[in-house]
Structure 1
Amino acid sequence: MDKKFLVPLCILLMLLSVKAAPRRSLITHLPGFSGKFLSHHYSGYVSIDGNAETGKNLFYYFVSSERNPRKDPVVLWLNGGPGCSSFDGFVYEHGPFNFKAAESKENLPTLHNNPYSWSKVSNVIYLDSPTGVGFSYSKNISKYSTGDLQTASDTHAFLLKWFEQFPEFQANPFYISGESYAGIYVPTLAFEIAKEIQHRTKPVINLKGYLVGNGVTDPKFDNNAFIPFVHGMGLISDTIYENVHASCKENYYNSDSESDQCAKSMEKVSKAIQGLNVYNILEPCHHDPEVATNLSSNLPLSFQKLGLTERPLPVRKRMFGRAWPFRAPVRDGPVTLWPQLLANTRHVPCVSDEVATSWLNDISVRKAIHVDVASGTWELCTDRISFDHDAGGMIPYHKNLTKLGYRALIYSGDHDMCVPFTGSEAWTSSLGYKTVDEWRSWSSNDQIAGFLQAYENNLTFLTVKGAGHTVPEYKPREALDFYSRWLDGKSI
């Protein structure tokens, strides 16, 4: 082909891509941003389980890839909670912009292009899920009662309709990603899609794999990881560790079986780590000015494991939260949501959501991104849903998915105390897969960025050095590096 035709052809293909997607969803500007969009942005609602009046209206924000949107993977991003909005990841982690807080309440935050956005190498869908979270809503409040399995089914229904609206992306490789309680969302959704692929449901979603960051997985592995983590990090003494190890008999997660001596030993652990930022032990944990002292970790572990508090917990810094409960065990049955857990403050410990809250509740922003008035006020984490953990542990899901041939990357910020890397390392090893890439370091920007171990069946466990619960927030360059290499099938 004559080179003089290449540029017009590229422009034509771009215009056709815009035309294929629903034009009413196209975002043409964003208040607070004066630069040029580096790719196309879309947002809006997909109604499932009925129409917009009677069913569930799930809100998405879609950023097409800055590299090659027609060929790059489509990646769904889910934040956890449950009950927390995926604008968390958009605003504070790997979205297309970096947000700078306004100097006064009268002004909006300012936005600048993010050099480490995941849209550099992929198309990304940020989804508020389940219904009732973020901007997703229903006019029938009975729809706000849900659980793991219903959420997976609803998200699958959303994806089927979304790909009908954006047919030009149906052939792209598709991945599911998320962090924290999305350690439940991601594998349950992946398995739901995998089942339908086997049944040849149309349209076929081109699922290739999934990523989970500091993800809740299994009560035994997650909570038994806590004591080895705090000891290994030098947060408790050898004496405290030996006492709790002996009295609890390596069973730190089942409070029903704890002896009095075990409970006393665990109280010593709680006292030792008092005041630390549970989401990154390297970071300060600022508290609400109305709270006299920093009590972020100053709760008996027995209360924490039951999801109960006797007094308000502090807040203030940036976005760190999105995990349930204060420590990581997930038990079958009703889940205590963050606003319910912290009813006196309505804040997650060590968390401030001022930037996202001020921007997303601005009328001009909501209009620009096509938010329905019926969705109400945006909150980082909501208490208007009721949620049951009804999927059990995730290890069987991971076994089934990896044996079906789906790629899996399990990554952990190695300074997160909420869902410690020690648990993720242990459960990935417990699958019994043969090691194909023995524990080694990986690099970013010519520096050691963490460690990894790869197993057969396309399973990789990876740590990010110095990162906390939300890896791309703390280590954006490193996060983009492992993300892009893994998506491209390259060695990390």
Structure 2
Amino acid sequence: MPPDTAATPLCSCGSSPAFSLRRRCRSPVRRRWSPACRGSMALCPSTWRPGTWAWATRRGAPSYSTTSWSRSGAPARTPCSCGTRAGPGARPSAPSPSRLAPSSLSRDGTTARCRSWSRNPYSLTQVASIIFVDSPVGTGFSYARDPKGYNVGDISASLQVLTFLRKWFDDHPRYLSNPFYLGGDSYAGKMTPLIAQHVSEGIEEMQYPLINLKGYLVGNPLTGDKIDDNSRIPYCHSFGIISDQIYEAALINCRGDYVNPTNKLCANVGQTINDLMSEVDNEGILDPVCPSASPKPRRDALRRKSLAEEHYELSDGPPYGCIKYRYHPSYIWANDNATRAALGIKEGTVKEWIRCKPKGELPYTFDLPSSIGYHFKLTTRGYRALVYSGDHDLTVPFSGTHAWIRSFNFSIAEDWRAWHLDGQAAGFTITYANNLTFATIKGGRHIVSDNRPKECFAAAKRWLTNEPL
């Protein structure tokens, strides 16, 4: 069982309080810290502290994962969190410009030119120290010297994160007393409870260092279970994306299982629904449909690699005005030679930073069929959990998330109600026994902090500080 959460301040996995980066690493793990950022904030916010960690996979092939930690006015006893918003092939939210980061990147609307950094008023680093990790191997700036090192899956990648955490705390024991939380959005929301389960088992088995795990928070989390996809059809009907007749045909012919149609009529209506869903942005149904946020850059552009060049154009990217455009300048920033030097990226390891690599480019085994059981195990052991959903997300509808939470049959500690910000309803929430809180964020997308950063910050801050949502 976790220690009493009221006894000490919070600490979440994703960031860590300040510490000296220049002392030698005395743990078995190999680490190389880059110099602190100097000069123009257009290159790297000074609160980021990058590093490179290495470990051997089960096949013996060494893998390297980059990590950054940040603190922005967070005292040394604040929550410490470790998190990612990524899935296989996707880059976690830092150090690229992000709604979680202490600074945001200003950009020119016509050339996507990176101009300067400005303070992010809704950064979670104001209330918690955060460690961001490139995982699984091959995402972001992480790499493996042996190609076999890229052959990972849900289980092996989660164990690698566990190895990283143990080595990190072994090297920085002064932070072991900080309350610790894990966090992740989207596919990382599937991995977060699995990693938390590994950490909790280590605590029960008295495996040192003993991480002070208090709980976890996940946003619009995938589970791998059929409920993720099956909940999309009633969600589409409730928002008028499909008609009453189409929905009734799906109910009659598919009998609740829209993932694996057992007859032609179900398959046909499923195709019709898919065609209609393609007309909206699945990550935010009220937003315009935009091209991918992961560009296919021109090779001549890659060779220029300088933020000083004012007309660094990209092809096949989202147009200015699309919400996904905010990811676009990060491509320029991360592939700039000065940025790479500030982050300590070793030459020849990762030629090109891409926020989300194309599906299938990296070998990955989806060997965790469902994470729902891990949510149940952790909450029944007393670990706190916040599950939040943007209510305009069609990728992982809030109704499906709430359905698997209700399947636990936990008693209701505080019934469904609105939670408020600036005198207005910011969403709705319900609290169950075993410290499990579910909340919606009104108007939120799949990655809620993309378009509701203020609401996302308020919800996380209140929960991390043990205040009612």
Give the one of 373, 376, 381 matched to 1:399. 376
Is 1:33 the counterpart of 2:42 in the alignment? yes
Total equivalences in the alignment: 419
Higher deviation after alignment, 392-401 or 377-386: 377-386
Give the one of 176, 182, 196 matched to 2:188. 182
Is 1:359 the counterpart of 2:333 in the alignment? yes
Percent of aligned pairs sharing the same letter: 32
Q: How far is the alpha carbon of 1:238 from its aligned partner?
A: 1.4
Q: How far is the alpha carbon of 1:114 from its aligned partner?
A: 0.3
Is 1:266 the counterpart of 2:270 in the alignment? yes
User: What amino acid is aligned across from residue 41 of structure 1 in structure 2?
Assistant: W
SS class of match (1:44):
strand
Asked whether the equivalents of residues 210 and 408 of structure 1 are also in contact (C-alpha less than 8 Å), the reply is yes
Q: 1:104 to 1:317 in 2, by over 3 A?
A: closer
In 2, Cα distance between the equivalents of 1:96 and 1:385?
Answer: 30
Is 1:436 the counterpart of 2:436 in the alignment? no
Counterpart for residue 309 of structure 2: none
Q: How far is the alpha carbon of 1:30 from its aligned partner?
A: 6.9
Is 1:156 the counterpart of 2:137 in the alignment? no
Counterparts in 2 of 1:78-93, with a 5 A limit? 78-87=84-93, 90-93=96-99
In 1, Cα distance between the equivalents of 2:48 and 2:109?
Answer: 27
Asked whether the equivalents of residues 20 and 166 of structure 1 are also in contact (C-alpha less than 8 Å), the reply is no
Counterparts in 2 of 1:447-486, with a 5 A limit? 447-486=424-463
Asked whether the equivalents of residues 34 and 342 of structure 2 are also in contact (C-alpha less than 8 Å), the reply is no
Counterpart for residue 331 of structure 1: none
Is 1:381 the counterpart of 2:356 in the alignment? yes
In 2, Cα distance between the equivalents of 1:384 and 1:226?
Answer: 27
SS class of match (1:219):
coil
TM score, norm. by length of structure 2: 0.83
Asked whether the equivalents of residues 114 and 333 of structure 2 are also in contact (C-alpha less than 8 Å), the reply is yes
Asked whether the equivalents of residues 21 and 167 of structure 1 are also in contact (C-alpha less than 8 Å), the reply is no
In 2, Cα distance between the equivalents of 1:104 and 1:317?
Answer: 9
Higher deviation after alignment, 16-25 or 197-206: 16-25
User: What amino acid is aligned across from residue 105 of structure 2 in structure 1?
Assistant: F
User: What amino acid is aligned across from residue 57 of structure 1 in structure 2?
Assistant: Y
Counterpart for residue 50 of structure 2: 43
Residue by residue over 1:387-435, the C-alpha shift from the partner in whole angstroms, topping out at 9 and shown as x without a partner, is: 1111221111111111111111111000011111111010011111111
Counterpart for residue 284 of structure 1: 288
Asked whether the equivalents of residues 48 and 69 of structure 2 are also in contact (C-alpha less than 8 Å), the reply is yes
In 1, Cα distance between the equivalents of 2:210 and 2:446?
Answer: 33
In 2, Cα distance between the equivalents of 1:125 and 1:320?
Answer: 29
TM score, norm. by length of structure 1: 0.79
Counterparts in 2 of 1:220-235, with a 5 A limit? 220-235=226-241
Q: Cα RMSD over matched residues? A: 2.7
SS class of match (2:183):
strand
Is 1:371 the counterpart of 2:375 in the alignment? no
In 2, Cα distance between the equivalents of 1:318 and 1:391?
Answer: 38
Q: 1:155 to 1:318 in 2, by over 3 A?
A: farther
Q: How far is the alpha carbon of 1:159 from its aligned partner?
A: 0.8
Asked whether the equivalents of residues 35 and 344 of structure 2 are also in contact (C-alpha less than 8 Å), the reply is no
In 2, Cα distance between the equivalents of 1:240 and 1:15?
Answer: 56
Q: How far is the alpha carbon of 1:176 from its aligned partner?
A: 0.7
Q: How far is the alpha carbon of 1:273 from its aligned partner?
A: 3.1
User: What amino acid is aligned across from residue 261 of structure 1 in structure 2?
Assistant: L
In 1, Cα distance between the equivalents of 2:18 and 2:117?
Answer: 26
Q: How far is the alpha carbon of 1:462 from its aligned partner?
A: 0.8
Asked whether the equivalents of residues 413 and 433 of structure 2 are also in contact (C-alpha less than 8 Å), the reply is yes
Q: 1:178 to 1:89 in 2, by over 3 A?
A: farther
| Structure with greater helix percent | 1
Counterparts in 2 of 1:240-319, with a 5 A limit? 240-255=246-261, 257=262, 259-287=263-291, 316=318
Q: 1:421 to 1:143 in 2, by over 3 A?
A: same
Asked whether the equivalents of residues 46 and 162 of structure 1 are also in contact (C-alpha less than 8 Å), the reply is no
In 2, Cα distance between the equivalents of 1:403 and 1:141?
Answer: 40
Q: 1:48 to 1:367 in 2, by over 3 A?
A: same
Counterpart for residue 210 of structure 1: 216
Counterpart for residue 412 of structure 1: 389
User: What amino acid is aligned across from residue 425 of structure 1 in structure 2?
Assistant: H
Q: 5+ unaligned residues in a row in structure 2: which ranges?
A: 1-16, 26-31, 293-315
Asked whether the equivalents of residues 94 and 101 of structure 2 are also in contact (C-alpha less than 8 Å), the reply is no
Q: How far is the alpha carbon of 1:87 from its aligned partner?
A: 3.2
Q: How far is the alpha carbon of 1:207 from its aligned partner?
A: 0.8
Q: 5+ unaligned residues in a row in structure 1: which ranges?
A: 1-13, 289-313, 322-349
Residue by residue over 1:2-27, the C-alpha shift from the partner in whole angstroms, topping out at 9 and shown as x without a partner, is: xxxxxxxxxxxx99756679794563
SS class of match (1:482):
helix
User: What amino acid is aligned across from residue 55 of structure 2 in structure 1?
Assistant: I
Residue by residue over 1:344-366, the C-alpha shift from the partner in whole angstroms, topping out at 9 and shown as x without a partner, is: xxxxxx77742111000100011
Q: How far is the alpha carbon of 1:265 from its aligned partner?
A: 1.5
User: What amino acid is aligned across from residue 201 of structure 2 in structure 1?
Assistant: K
User: What amino acid is aligned across from residue 179 of structure 1 in structure 2?
Assistant: D
User: What amino acid is aligned across from residue 55 of structure 1 in structure 2?
Assistant: P
In 2, Cα distance between the equivalents of 1:474 and 1:89?
Answer: 19
In 1, Cα distance between the equivalents of 2:97 and 2:112?
Answer: 20
Counterpart for residue 60 of structure 1: 67
User: What amino acid is aligned across from residue 216 of structure 2 in structure 1?
Assistant: Y
Asked whether the equivalents of residues 225 and 369 of structure 2 are also in contact (C-alpha less than 8 Å), the reply is no
Counterpart for residue 169 of structure 1: 175
In 1, Cα distance between the equivalents of 2:266 and 2:430?
Answer: 34
Give the one of 119, 123, 126 matched to 2:125. 119
Q: 1:19 to 1:41 in 2, by over 3 A?
A: same
